Chain A
Amino acid sequence: KNEVEQSPQNLTAQEGEFITINCSYSVGISALHWLQQHPGGGIVSLFMLSSGKKKHGRLIATINIQEKHSSLHITASHPRDSAVYICAVRSKSGGSNYKLTFGKGTLLTVNP
Chain B
Amino acid sequence: NAGVMQNPRHLVRRRGQEARLRCSPMKGHSHVYWYRQLPEEGLKFMVYLQKENIIDESGMPKERFSAEFPKEGPSILRIQQVVRGDSAAYFCASSPRARLGTEAFFGQGTRLTVV
**Total count of chain A residues near the partner, CB < 8 A:** 25
Q: Does any Cβ of B come within 8 Å of A42's Cβ?
A: yes
- Nearest 8 CB-CB pairs, A to B? A42-B108, A43-B106, A45-B104, A102-B42, A102-B43, A104-B42, A48-B102, A98-B99
Q: How many residues of B contact A (CB 8 A)?
A: 27
Give the docked Cα–Cα distance between A35 and B93 (Å): 12
Known: A42-B108, A42-B109, A99-B56. A104 touches B100 (CB 8 A): no
For A102, the chain B residues whose CB sits under 8 A away are 35, 42-44
Within 8 A of A (CB), among B81-115: 91, 93, 98-109, 111
Give, as a whole number of angstroms, the nearest-CB distance from A111 to chain B. 23
Residues of B within 8 A of A99 (CB): 45, 48, 56
CB distance from A10 to the nearest CB of B (A): 12
How far, in whole Å, are A42 and B45 apart by their CA atoms in the complex?
16
On chain A, the residues within 8 Å of B108 by CB distance are: 41-42
